[in-house]
Amino acid sequence: MSLVDDAIRIRVNAHAPYSGFKVGAAIRTPSGRVFTGVNVENAAYPEGTCAEAGAIAAMVAAGETEIAAMAVVGDAPAPVTPCGGCRQKIAEFAPRGVVVTMANLAGDRLEMKIEALLPYAFAKAQMEG
């Protein structure tokens, strides 16, 4: 099963009663394990979290800290692209060259490397004198 399939499968569990827009995300790590996440909205709207953040949290909680590949899926006219904040969250764990596959349920796909999704990402190296 592809990472996009994993994201599609988990997406149904999203908690999105406010936007009605369910998103699924899946990460593969170098170990071969797959971690998934969904968006979790809240009645206090700003407290909602994105699917990508959920998948990253699951990966880190399991003791892994490197993204080898990632997929994001929603039911949209075009492939769903991660928000700005999520691009920064992905860049924290995805080395240069990692491909993020964006998809929708119609079968459209868009693949981009992390450095193209977030050029000039802020990173730890910038805080080192």
Active site residues: 52
- Determine, following the binding rule CB under 6 A, whether residue 99 of this chain makes contact with ligand THU: no
Residue 80 binds ligand THU (CB under 6 A) = yes
- By CB under 6 A, residue 71 contacts ligand THU: no
Residue 70 touching ligand THU (CB under 6 A): no
- Indicate the residue among 10 and 68 with the shorter CB distance to ligand THU: 10
Amino acid type, 3: L
24 has which bridge partners?
Answer: 38, 73
- Which of these, 5, 67, 10, lies nearest to 37 by C-alpha position? 10
Closest by CA to 79, choosing from 100, 63, 52, is 100
Part of the chain binding ligand THU (CB under 6 A), chosen from 5-13, 47-55, 56-64, 88-96? 47-55
Q: Report DSSP state, residue 33.
A: -
Task: Rank residues 6 and 52 by Cβ distance to ligand THU and give the closer one.
Answer: 52
Q: Which two tokens stand for residue 57?
A: 């949290």
- Decide: 3 and 70 in contact? Cβ < 8 Å: yes
- Residue 23 contacts ligand THU per CB under 6 A: yes
User: In terms of residues, how long is the chain?
Assistant: 129
Residues forming contacts to ligand THU in the complex (CB under 6 A) are 16, 19, 21, 23, 39, 41, 48, 50-52, 72, 80, 82-83, 86
